[in-house]
Structure 1
Amino acid sequence: MMRILRSLPRTHKLLLLPVATMVTVLGAHKILTTVEDARHDRQNQDTVLVPLGADTSPGVPSLSLDRAPVAEAIQLASRAMDATRDPVPLSQLPASEIVDVRYLETPNRASSDATPAGDDGPRLDDGARHLAIVIGTVASGMLAANERLVASATSYEDVSEDELELFDDGPIVLEEEIDADEPYVPEWLAYTVESGDTFAIMAQENLGMGYSEVTSLLEAMPEPELLTQWRAGDHFEYQLDEQGELLALRLMKNARDGYLIKRGDDGLDVATIERAGEATQRLYAGTISGSFARSAQSTGLTSAEVAELSHVLEKKLDFRRDTRRGDHFRVLVESDLIDGRHLDPRVLAVSYEGSRMDLTLVRNAEDNRFYTPDGESLDPAFDRYPFAGHYRISSPFNLRRHHPITGRISPHKGTDFAMPAGTPVDAPADGRVELVGNHPLAGRYIVIRHDNGYKTRYLHLSRPLVSRGDRVTRGERIAMSGNTGRSTGAHLHYEILVNDNQVDAMKVALPEHQGLTGQALADFKREAGPMLTALESGETGTRVASTDTEVAGPDDES
């Protein structure tokens, strides 16, 4: 037994010692308590009834566990001990075994086969001693269920020489052993750039990186300037391993986008970070006083949001003629909320209530265009100009133009716009590319047949961006203007053909705007419902930043 104990870990030795001591002490304590209670009550205890199982045969009780389950053994032992206080007639007991137990006036210190000199009292026979062992063993397992045993429990601080030998390998410090088993968990640390810092030096001093590793990282970075062009106040986060070498580096170029650098089996790997913010709606309300832009900004709208709002309304609203002081408007804006900042704002809906015009527009998520609540579009089906911005007409459409050298009539069947080479050219309407080529006179050119039957031609291009057979949509970039072919300067020659005949692109009647129909209209109305409700009620269901502000003097109407 001692060899087994010596081989156990130190923590197991510490746990086994009180368990073994408690079992031994409590078993003996229970027997002595029962005997003393019986003697104190001066009851006749010559005979104790010990209930046994139905299949028990006469004889001395045994320690064998296959006689009955543990729960039954506990019950039998308990009834045997209680018999000293409330004797139960034999007729009320099940099949049992009667054991003669005679209590001693003085303790027996000798074996069962010898009686000490001068002690004429009766000895505890073998059967009674065996019964005491059974009761003590069973009672020791009742510690958790018997409150009387718990109440009388105590501690024993005396330790024998043999027990001391169990701890011959020094003191036990559990905290140190537990700490040694805890795995290393890297933490994210933050670094703020100070004036004069460079990544190469910082990486060697703080990230455990060598010069060659720093060079390899800069070559692998899609935007190395994020590490080479530091500004004081910039910051990033990093993790180190137990040896103080870089595990991961998180570098954000803005609140949404950044890069994650992690150490892998083959070195440092670079991955992009794209954070998806929480879509948040904000509602702004204002009153016209002065210019529309100034009134819109007074509600809290940013310059970018005011510009988008003006672009949406100008298709139907003339800000110089149609706006009046006191007109009201509401704007529903959606943006992505990241770290408390609103990013990528977009106008969802706007309502304008004026003395000359009432207008409500809602963005359609399917094509990103604005429509009235009934699905009517404000965008024309055919743009007048195939580009954004304003450029001077250097030569208009003229079928009776005279050639500047020969003096003969030389019709000009298109409209020339003077613009720098490389200016983007856009498709004025949906259609399909019919021709892309190069001509000695026209230079590089494109021909598009549109869905309404019209054709458009673009001459003197520097570079086409589409190919024959491509499908194009209104507003899509198709080419870059240039000065190819027979041309006196950089410009765009633009033609519109109706029934294959050139017409004046600046005067021809263009198709009216088109609205949504069928399933597209049904889907739009379903999505527009909550936005229209937000405009009317001022409740978006998310975060609302609503102000009703008028930039005006004290005499102006609100």
Structure 2
Amino acid sequence: MTQFIQRLPRQHKVVISIVLGALLLLILLPSEQASASRNTTTAEHLKPGKRYSLDIPTAADVSADNYVTPVMSTATRPQAPTTPEQAEPADTLRWQSYEVRSGDSLARIFNRIGLSPQQLHRVTQAEDANILLRIHPGDSINFGLDATGELAQLTYSLSDVETLLITADESGAFTSSRELKDVEIRYGFATATINSSFWNAGVQAGLTQGQIMNLAELFGWDIDFVMDIRPGDNFSVLYEQRYIDGNYAGSGRIVAAEFINQGDKFQAVRHDNGSYYKPDGSNMRQAFIRAPVAFNRVSSDFNPRRVHPVTGQVRPHNGIDYAAATGTPVMAAGDGRVVRSGYNELNGNYIFIQHGERYMTKYLHLNRRDVQQGARVRQGQRIGTVGATGRVTGPHLHYEFLVDGVHRNPRTVDLPAAESLPAGQMAAFTQVVQQRLAQIEHQRRVMLAMSDD
């Protein structure tokens, strides 16, 4: 290359030298941008402890084409809260209501809604979720789904005042809670005179079936509602009425009642402890109920000189026959232990119950026996059903009551009472009694005045 240049004419060598010199000059001279850059403060001129301003381009200097979104480093990115929170507010969810069908299981319902087995598993891990394993046909389950179709909340009504809520938090786990509605208590009143039957009078007074049975249970220790009811008897009842959000939600407990049976007045008032007492503080509950079957009709009374309907012989009838349809439940008259449970040709299926040392009750001609010898039973517990086994003419319960081994009339025998209200509570209870009985008397006069108009 050097030899080639040396052979060139002198003028050519001069031109080449000029061109190379110009190129070298262009390379060595800085551009305008480089000069501007050098005019800014460089690292070699920075002094510790002194603040320097930075030239930040304005929005007008930055075009949309060359703008890059700044990325926040992991070290400076705000962390999500560690406390689990509800994934999505309930009012933003898409709700689906499902009515339980016969044969449905929770797994089948989740499949129909379109929810995965994994979601079902997470739901069942929540406290109280086992309640959902006891669903019944006709129950409603509400599913709240988020925007992605995932389950965020499930609600299930436990009663007219209580709802089970199972809610997902941000981690995907489910927790349970219960929502209670405020219940306003008002009082209702019913009164009636018995013309044909106690049941019919209760219906005409506007009582529900449950209230009629509760009233019979309340006075069932003093009155045999099968044998003792007479035309002209009357009753008055003060009971709770429940209202939710201003709407009637059903009747509640009896708070006070009065029953006049064959001229005898019986009164009962509910105490805060849940028991009912007479105005003098004695317990309405006694050791035995008068009748071990629901009130119906009686075909034979206690009669030691009765003529037997099958043999025609005069044989003592040391008990009461309660005529009722086969299958009618028979209840234990009191707490005790089953000492005999068997069958023989005369009594058919029978059960004997020992109550302490002095008392025994016998139940004969049962269709079936639900308790075995040696079992402990509670007052009012079902022990069998009415039948027509043994030497009988039709389905009925033969009931006997023995005191110290001697047959006594179950309707009239003096029964041991339960524990009375403690003396220290009598002053406060007396005020409640006066208030409740005054309410009954006032309502009775109002209704009497209305009937006279």
The one-character-per-residue Cα deviations of 1:46-105 (angstroms, maximum 9, x if unpaired) are xxxxxxxxxxxxxxxxx999xxxxxxxxxxxxxxxxxxxxxxxxxxxxxxxxxxxxxxxx
- Determine the structure 1 residue equivalent to 2:8: none
Between the aligned partners of 1:447 and 1:461, the Cα distance in structure 2 is 12
Q: Considering fraction of residues, name the structure with more strand.
A: 2
CA distance in 1 between counterparts of 2:304 and 2:319 reads 8
AA matched with 1:185: E
Preserved CA contact (<8 Å) 2:95 2:144: no
The answer to whether the 8 Å contact 2:330/2:385 transfers is: yes
Larger radius of gyration: 1
Describe the SS at the equivalent of 2:134: coil
In the alignment, does 2:344 pair up with 1:439?
yes
Partners of 1:372 and 1:396 lie apart in 2 by: 29
CA distance in 1, matches of 2:98, 2:324: 46
Q: Give me the whole-angstrom Cα distance separating, in 2, the residues matched to 1:423 and 1:415.
A: 16
Which residue matches 1:391?
297
Structure 2: 5+ residue stretches without partners:
1-46, 125-131
Indicate how the Cα distance of structure 1 residues 249 and 420 shifts in structure 2: closer, same or farther if over 3 A, else same: same
Provide the secondary structure at the position in 2 that maps to 1:225. Answer: coil
Query: 1:109-120, aligned counterparts within 5 Å?
Result: none
Equivalent residues of 1:289, 1:552 under 8 A apart: no
Name the TM-score, length of structure 2 as normaliser.
Answer: 0.55
Inter-CA distance 447–480: structure 2 relative to 1 (3 Å threshold): same
> In the alignment, is residue 419 of structure 1 matched against residue 324 of structure 2?
yes
> Which residue number in structure 2 is paired with residue 349 of structure 1?
256
Cα pair 1:333 1:348 within 8 Å, conserved: yes
Q: Deviations over 1:113-159 (max 9, x none)?
A: xxxxxxxxxxxxxxxxxxxx9xxx9xxxxxxxxxxxxxxxxxxxxx9
Are residues 411 and 360 of structure 1, via their aligned partners in 2, closer, same or farther at CA, if it must alter by over 3 Å? Answer: closer
What is the Cα deviation at residue 257 of structure 1? 6.2
What is the CA–CA distance in structure 2 between the aligned matches of 1:485 and 1:290, rounded to whole Å?
36
Which whole-Å CA distance do the structure 2 matches of 1:385 and 1:201 have between them? Answer: 47
Q: From the superposition, tell whether residues 383 and 209 of structure 1 become closer, same or farther in structure 2 (CA, over 3 Å).
A: closer
Provide closer, same or farther for how the CA distance between residues 512 and 253 of structure 1 changes in structure 2, counting only shifts above 3 A: closer
Is residue 390 of structure 2 the alignment partner of residue 480 of structure 1? no
For 1:550, the aligned partner's letter is M
> What corresponds to 2:402 in structure 1?
497
Q: 1:450 aligns with which of 323, 338, 355?
A: 355
Find the aligned partners of 1:268 and 1:180 in 2 and give their Cα distance.
Answer: 20
Identical aligned pairs, as a percentage? Answer: 24
Does the 8 Å CA contact 2:299/2:321 hold for their aligned counterparts?
Answer: yes
Paired residues, number: 361
The aligned residue for residue 185 of structure 1 is 88
Deviations along 1:429-479, whole A, 9 cap, x unmatched? Answer: 444432223335433321122358232211232333334444444433222
SS at match of 2:417: coil
Pick from 525, 528, 532 the counterpart of residue 429 of structure 2. 528
SS of alignment partner, residue 256 of structure 2: strand
Aligned to 1:222: 134
- CA spacing shift, 1:336–1:474, aligned 2, 3 Å: farther
The correspondence for 2:144, drawn from 209, 220, 239, is 239
Counterparts in 2 of 1:468 and 1:222: CA distance versus 1, 3 Å: same
Give the 3-state SS of the residue equivalent to 1:496 in structure 2: strand
Tell whether the 8 Å contact from 2:358 to 2:405 is kept in structure 1 after alignment.
no
1:21-70 Cα shifts (integer Å, max 9, x gaps): xxxxxxxxxxxxxxxxxxxxxxxxxxxxxxxxxxxxxxxxxx999xxxxx
- Alignment partner of 1:511 is 2:414: yes
Task: Look up the match of 2:14.
Answer: none
Which residue of 1 is the match for residue 154 of structure 2?
249
Shift of 1:161: 5.8
Alpha-carbon distance change, 362 to 255 in structure 1, aligned in 2, over 3 angstroms: same
Once residues 495 and 284 of structure 1 are traced to their aligned partners in structure 2, the CA distance between those partners, rounded to angstroms, is 39
1:23-422 alignment, distance < 5 Å: 163=57, 169-170=67-68, 184-185=87-88, 187=90, 188-191=93-96, 208-209=114-115, 222-223=134-135, 225-226=137-138, 237-252=142-157, 254-256=159-161, 278=182, 280-284=184-188, 303=208, 307=212, 311=216, 321=232, 331=238, 333=240, 335=242, 341-343=248-250, 345-350=252-257, 361-364=268-271, 366=273, 368=275, 370-378=276-284, 382-393=288-299, 397-399=303-305, 401=307, 404=310, 413-422=318-327
Contact 1:186 1:239 in 2 (8 A): no
3-state SS of 1:348 partner: strand
Letter in 1 for 2:295: G
| Matching residue of 1:10 | none
State how far apart, in whole Å, the 2-side matches of 1:404 and 1:319 are: 30
Cα shift at 1:375: 0.9
Matched residues in 2 for 1:286 and 1:419: separation?
28
Amino acid at match of 1:476: Q
Note closer, same or farther for the CA distance 1:269–1:462 as it changes in structure 2 (3 Å cut). Answer: farther
Which deviations, in whole Å up to 9, do the C-alpha atoms of 1:410-446 show, x marking residues without a partner? Answer: 6554444433332111223444432223335433321
Is the alpha carbon distance of 1:333 and 1:523 closer, same or farther for their aligned partners in structure 2, counting shifts above 3 Å?
Answer: farther
Cα distance between partner residues in 2 of 1:298 and 1:412: 37
Letter in 2 for 1:456: T
Offset at residue 387 of structure 1 (A): 1.1
Instruction: Say if 1:278 and 1:320 are closer, same or farther in 2 by CA, change over 3 A.
Output: farther
Mapped partners of 1:263, 1:211: distance in 2: 15
Q: Give the Cα separation in 2 of the matches to 1:468 and 1:244.
A: 58
Could you state the TM-score of these two structures normalised by the residue count of structure 1? Answer: 0.46
CA contact (8 A) 2:160 2:249 kept: no
